[in-house]
Chains A and B, each alone.
Chain A
């Protein structure tokens, strides 16, 4: 396959990354999707939009997030130096704030009066509810009934923030069904409503837009590692559900050929078990939620259920840019199981005093596999994209502890 001059030129004007991406939506939504794209282009060219973003990112979200050298962990693993990009320190507890801030500023510019969002683990829902409170916009969050049951603290948080949380009972009551219902709401309320998609997926321009907003992670990390080490890292690692934190970290490094990049999918009970959320490892290309990408599906093209202990990775698809980077071979995609993530979760809590979310615990599980095999001069930079407070109940249950 031909190597492009740059991996950063996508998507094309039709929203394609190679064969992936696109705008596979009902005609009712097309004018709206085109309107969002147009508004986003105008906003990008307007320095006041960037100025607003920077203001709230610094003063409300708490950016830049630190780049932290995990010294004890590095010693424990006995190989490469491990750095964490501390996006779990953001207001609302994850990288989701970076994206919601950008989209809600855009919604305000477009004069939209109502915000909707889908959420899996609840992190994106909480971030959306938070910014809706800040900007005084009514907020409706669609969340699968199954996820509501396993993420009760986040449901309560969203309600405290003034959001209406709608329990989605259709399908299997998880993230994909929440997204279906959010799209249905959008179709019915196109005039007033802005749909804040939480991950780098959906119809164009969402994958591009979410990537751009999340790229603040990689831009900061690049500067910070140059300052700390005087050179770029050898290896980037991030977990992937839809893939927004990963693309945010990876994107600014895509053309640095000396930097190896690995995305870590959720292998659930194991990719061979059939109960996993590893779309690239265990799926094939298809069309869902407005884009062509790798999907978990059966031989009839029906979408199958994902499984992961982490509700945030429990999605049968993946952002289209990841599918493209996978097909081009620029990024490697690995996977970690529920139990590997649980081990990493506990280890980091004890060794570094950081309780990670179950999502980045998957990335950490991979770091634990590769760091010991690398030279001590090598540098791994991992995105610690969320904190684990929301997961303590799930983890306690998995460990058989009653709290």
Chain B
């Protein structure tokens, strides 16, 4: 069986003996053109996996940074259809870097699950993280996605690492995303030894790579994360960087793309220096 783009990426990381960097940005923030420019620059800046947020009006599991980011994108007319357009444009230039779409179920449900899956696959999407679809609702979207050969990545949390873990691992594919703290995105980071123990517990039950996120803001934190996990996920901190380059009307100021990519590069250097 041939490996998917995402599996290949993690296999290569393993072969190189280094941890990966997963970067999160909201598709269409601050606008479609700028967002595409940033996404196109991410692989060269060192992002190993690109996670793109599908903007939603009510992002219940996200903190202020990603909420605001989502609303900025929507205000500029972003939609699920345009998110797929963005991936298609990126994929025309890059066939190697996996793209994961992250978001909430309602826009997909309204788009139509089967149509969405085939459109997303054609656009070059590799997998999904749908925050409000727990294993109890796998028949809705997870199983149809797997049937299309797309990945369904699940979040596990400190409340999952117990009797629920097998249930969460079942039907998860690509990698597992360990949310290191209880809470919404953009809050404090967890202690390394706590993360190490949690990752060990997960690894005892699955061969899937484990990415760890929530609260990572510096190259050093990213480095410490990949000392105990297969990849570090950084989201809110990148969005905060992007926000520094918005004017009072949320329009991009000169240098925004460069600043965001420079920041990603420092994170990537942190990750690459970690196990060396």
Contacts and interface: CB of A to CB of B under 8 A. Distances in A.
Given A28-B159, A30-B164, A188-B183, A302 B132 contact: no
B182 A31 contact: no
B107 A302 contact: yes
Given A25-B134, A28-B61, A287 B156 contact: no
Nearest to A183: B60
28 contacts: A22-B136, A23-B134, A25-B134, A26-B132, A27-B156, A27-B157, A27-B179, A28-B61, A28-B179, A30-B160, A31-B162, A170-B64, A171-B58, A171-B71, A176-B58, A183-B60, A183-B61, A184-B61, A184-B63, A187-B183, A189-B182, A191-B182, A286-B106, A287-B105, A295-B106, A301-B80, A302-B57, A303-B106
Interface string B114-153: 0000000000000000011110110000000000000000
Interface of B: 55-61, 63-64, 67, 71, 74, 79-81, 104-111, 131-134, 136-137, 154-157, 159-160, 162, 164, 168, 179, 182-184, 187
A177 to B, nearest CB: 8
A301 B103 CA distance: 12
A284 B110 CA distance: 9
- Going nearest first, the 6 A-B pairs with the smallest beta carbon separation are A301-B110, A301-B107, A188-B183, A302-B57, A300-B79, A26-B61
Nearest to B131: A26
Contacts, number: 116
A28 B182 contact: yes
Nearest to A24: B132
Given A28-B61, A30-B134, A171-B58, A301 B179 contact: no
A28 B157 contact: yes
Interface residues of A, number: 38
Contacts of B168: 27
A382 interface: no
Contacts of B71: 171
Contacts of A301: 56, 80, 106-111
Contact of A188 (B57, B59, B187): B187
Given A28-B157, A31-B160, A188-B182, A288 B79 contact: no
Q: Which of A28, A292, A297, A299 has the most CB of B within 10 A?
A: A28
Nearest to B71: A171
Contacts of A299: 110
A286 B112 CA distance: 11
A26 B155 contact: yes
Contacts of B155: 26-28
Interface string A172-214: 0000110010011001111100000000000000000000000
Contact of B57 (A24, A30, A189, A303): A303
Nearest to A189: B182
Contacts of B159: 27-28, 30-32, 190
B157 A302 contact: no
A14 interface: yes
Contacts of A28: 61, 155, 157, 159-160, 179, 182-183
A290 interface: yes
